[in-house]
Structure 1
């Protein structure tokens, strides 16, 4: 059932967000030792940055479609 905002009437009924592709597979793996190496840390940092970008894209799509307040 589509969301219906009484204030906006049928204007918002059934609107969908723009498609946002799934996040890619993680590149980081478990640390080989007790202390992560720079490469392991950088891989984790890259994954977090990718997910942050994906979440921001999803939020932007929800705002653009009117399903979330700006």
Structure 2
């Protein structure tokens, strides 16, 4: 679908962003007790890092495709 580029005053065609891999499956589980153990907490931190990497990869690809401002 074409859209108007206000800064250039011309119609531009949208382009598809590059594919981005799905984030890996979560490694965390529900804590067994009231407080998580260090091992359980470390798994949450690892999962958060994986999601952050996937999120930043997706944003970079959308910027490269011109769908987000640099």
Q: TM-score over 0.5 for the alignment?
A: yes
- Structure 2: gaps of 5 or more residues: none
More strand by share: 2
Q: TM-score, normalised by structure 2?
A: 0.85
**CA deviation digits over 1:3-28, x for unaligned, max 9?**
x3422745x51311110011111000
Structure 1 stretches of at least 4 aligned residues deviating more than 3 Å after TM superposition? none
TM-score normalized by structure 1?
A: 0.85
Work out the number of aligned pairs and report it.
Answer: 68
Residue 41 to residue 26, structure 1, CA distance change in 2 (3 Å): same
Report matched runs for 1:30-69 at 5 Å. 30-69=30-69
More helix by share: 1
